[in-house]
Structure 1
Amino acid sequence: MFTVSFYKPTSIFLKHISATLLLLAASATNPALAQKASPETEAVKSIITTFFDGMRRGDSTMVRRTLAPAAVFHGFGGEPGQTPTLEIESINGFLKAVGTPHPQIWDERVTFERVLIDANLASVWAPYEFYLGSKFSHCGYDSFQLVRLADGWKIAHVIDTRRKEKCK
């Protein structure tokens, strides 16, 4: 005849398992311990950051350097209660507006929610808040399409949503 004995964990074993599980949970939720973004992801983010830095400085030349030839801007929005409209925005008009002195800084604050890259194409999804100086103006999401050209990543297309309500 044989006997079956069940394994009874010791308190040291339980403490070790508890500590391991706690460490795993902390590393899963702590951004400092999360995996670092790839150099390509950082390069894509850098171009978008430069675009907005140029906008804040009123430097249209800096902004233009982030754009691919024949880049396209679209705006998607409208007044509350109305059907949203899709508008094509003039790149040259935008650059002229950025470079023309204006009383308040145009400060678009983005958060990089998703960056997807395949070979020479990148797609970025970024919620934003827009401020005129220190005054909140509107919010929404920016969707960027970037291409890697001979001189690096460039913005080929931007489309955004715009609203004043239901912001963060």
Structure 2
Amino acid sequence: MKAFLPAFALLCANAPAIAQKSPTAETAAVQRTIHTFFEGMRKGDSALVRSTIAPGAVFHTISNRNGTTHVQPENPTDFLKAVGTPHQAVWDERITFDKVLIDANLASVWTPYEFYLGSTFSHCGYNSFQLVKLAGGWKIAHVIDTRRKEKCR
């Protein structure tokens, strides 16, 4: 019994680190929402993209022009229209999940990305998503991103 207690204490002390290494069902659900968003972009399917967005969602882009930082709002309705309007090159945003943080019905997700028009590199940066868990699942309530052509990652 004495040998069991130190081993049990060590296991309990490391439980949070072990738990963080494997994604939970909620983490996987949040990631699926974001993957679906970008799948819709690649397919030019605005209905698929719309299915991932919460009512009243807000989109922003951070840009740097002439050494000055600008925060630009983007209307989600205009974005959906652009996605669904036929365009020659596939909009291919390639992301990885850097951080997924969840508390109750709020998720915050950090994703570095590279954006391609077809097979041609366009720009890169980071997305910051805020999602909310509604009756229909996880939906994107806010996304803000950076955009640049160099110093990717």
TM over 0.5: yes
Q: Give the aligned length.
A: 134
Aligned to 1:68: 54
User: Greater share of strand residues, 1 or 2?
Assistant: 2
Q: Once the 2 structures are TM-superposed, how far is the Cα of residue 156 of structure 1 from its aligned partner?
A: 0.2
Q: 2:71 aligns with which of 61, 70, 86?
A: 86
Alpha-carbon distance in 2 for matches of 1:72, 1:82: 25
User: Mapping of 1:34-73 within 5 angstroms?
Assistant: 35-73=21-59
| Structure 1, gaps ≥5 residues long | 1-33
Alpha-carbon distance in 2 for matches of 1:67, 1:35: 28
Alpha-carbon distance in 2 for matches of 1:84, 1:110: 24
Equivalent residue letter for 2:105:
N
1:156 and 2:144 matched: no
Q: Give deviations 1:51-99, integer Å, cap 9, x for gaps.
A: 00000000000000000000000000133x4201000001111000000
Q: Once the 2 structures are TM-superposed, how far is the Cα of residue 35 of structure 1 from its aligned partner?
A: 3.4
SS in 2 for 1:117: strand
Larger radius of gyration: 1
1:145 and 2:123 matched: no
Alpha-carbon distance in 2 for matches of 1:109, 1:51: 12
Alpha-carbon distance in 1 for matches of 2:38, 2:21: 26
SS in 1 for 2:72: strand
Alpha-carbon distance in 2 for matches of 1:95, 1:138: 20
Q: Once the 2 structures are TM-superposed, how far is the Cα of residue 104 of structure 1 from its aligned partner?
A: 0.1
Alpha-carbon distance in 2 for matches of 1:69, 1:90: 12
SS in 2 for 1:63: helix
SS in 1 for 2:68: coil
Q: Once the 2 structures are TM-superposed, how far is the Cα of residue 165 of structure 1 from its aligned partner?
A: 1.1
Equivalent residue letter for 1:53:
E
Alpha-carbon distance in 2 for matches of 1:128, 1:166: 12
Alpha-carbon distance in 2 for matches of 1:35, 1:85: 36
SS in 2 for 1:98: helix
Over aligned residues, Cα RMSD in angstroms? Answer: 1.1
| Structure 2, gaps ≥5 residues long | 1-19
Alpha-carbon distance in 2 for matches of 1:105, 1:65: 20
SS in 2 for 1:78: strand
1:101 and 2:75 matched: no
Q: Call closer, same or farther: CA 1:35–1:78 in 2, change over 3 Å.
A: closer
Alpha-carbon distance in 2 for matches of 1:149, 1:87: 27
